[in-house]
Amino acid sequence: MPGITPWKSSRLIEPRRIGFVSTRFAGTDGVSLESAKWAAILASDKHKCFWYSGRSDRDSSISLCIPEANFGHPENVWINEEIWGKISRSPLVSRRIHDLAEYLKSTLYDFVRQFGIDILLVENALSIPMHVPLGVAITEFLIESRTPTIAHHHDFYWERTRFSINAVQDCLEMCFPPRDPLIQHVVINQAAQEELSWRKGVPTTLVPNALDYSSPPPPMDSYSTDVRTSIGLQPHDVMILQPTRVIPRKGIEHAITLLERLGNPKYKLIVSHESGDEGMDYRHMLVEWAHNAGVDLRFVETRISDVRQYDREGKKMYTLWDLYQHADLVTYPSLYEGFGNAFLEAVYFRVPVLVNRYAIFGRDIEPKGFKVPIMDGFITQKVVDDVRRILEDKEHRKQMVDHNYEVAARFFDYTEVRRKLRMLIVNLMGAAPRP
């Protein structure tokens, strides 16, 4: 992640010890990435950050890792099998939910005591019920301890069809998220703000995802200069990057259609992330689709890692940041996104990006004035022509990406996040006493 620009700490806010809580702080998922950004911003204001989760890649000296808090722990997997897609649960299921919640609650007490936590910052664990017992544990802990809390909500259960039929409606009403005056609720888009107000009657603060646009990305270095050759591209090839996981809502078939209609064999579609979160059928379909369309589709997830390293065969592993620096175009034809980190990242690296007008983009991002080719659910000839011009007209491309960077720096920089976090902390703890 790019370094954060130093910022003079606000004299109005006393430095606090802030404990981040979630099921996982590891890898490149949105929650892990955004929590790391928030921690960097808080650290620049002299706060100290600590981490509680079931899986973690954070410094162990400031972390408490409880395996049972991971949504992939066998006990939670068993519970999920018993509560989703069903309308009733057995006494055994209820007992195991509460037993696991009671244990996790005790570890939250341990976490707060061990690190002297002043404020909890719960990342999505009170939003989407991947781990119902953890949500129950956090809610009961907050009610009992009265610990001031910021609940950072990335997406909610009512936004996912798979949670619509369930046997834990009582838990969802109580914990996802809970109603408590000591909780400051934060959402990442306007639709979530309105829906949470309507469903739960709680006030919220809108803090969109952000990047440190005041610190441009570093230039390409010696480690990453060979990215293209390492993934099999020739010097004259054009790299079209799809920087997402391989799941149906990412709409990758539209990127294949785009390349088919561009009709240039130099254009290669590179997919960065792994498959399998929702099965492999979608990936198999994409491979067949690309084959029939005559499109060169390459999955490079085996060469991508959270950090630069070498694999067991001695081959370089690159980061997503390394891929962006080589991309000629980013495709982002998602059907749904909670916000759109890949869009902000493409803008940050001054790469042009094709976007499908998903709901949050149309409402929260597009009105800011970005210049990008936009599709409305399908590839039109205008979209094809716009993309072709971007790839062939260097001056047009430069004007576009420079404009987009300036817009993002105005609306989606760390400065706005820092301002909102200061406000939230003052709401919870009050201003620091004047000297």
Q: What is the DSSP string of 37-58?
A: HHHHHHHHTT-EEEEEESEE-S
Domain 227-411 classification at class level: alpha beta
pLDDT of residue 7: 45
Q: How far is CA 109 from CA 24, 54, 141, in A?
A: 18, 15, 8
pLDDT of residue 119: 97
| CA dihedral of 180, 185, 190, 192, whole degrees rounded to 10 | -60
Contact 196, 117 (CB under 8 A): no
pLDDT of residue 4: 53
pLDDT of residue 307: 87
R_g of the chain computed on alpha carbons: 22
pLDDT of residue 338: 85
pLDDT of residue 3: 54
Element (H, E) at 205: strand 204-206
**Could you tell me the sign of the dihedral formed by the alpha carbons of 257, 260, 264, 267, in that order?**
positive
Q: How far apart are CA 244 and CA 238, in angstroms?
A: 19
Element (H, E) at 113: helix 91-115
**Could you tell me the sign of the dihedral formed by the alpha carbons of 192, 193, 194, 198, in that order?**
positive
Contact 341, 190 (CB under 8 A): no
Q: How far apart are CA 68 and CA 253, in angstroms?
A: 37
Q: Where are the CATH 3.40.50.2000 domain residues in the chain?
A: 17-210+414-429, 227-411
Strand partners, 56: 25
pLDDT of residue 9: 46
Q: How far apart are CA 205 and CA 421, in angstroms?
A: 10
| CA dihedral of 29, 30, 31, 36, whole degrees rounded to 10 | 90
17-210+414-429: which CATH number, 3.10.129.10, 3.90.78.10, 3.20.20.70, 3.40.50.2000?
A: 3.40.50.2000
Ranges of residues in the chain with a pLDDT under 50 are 1, 5-9
pLDDT of residue 13: 79
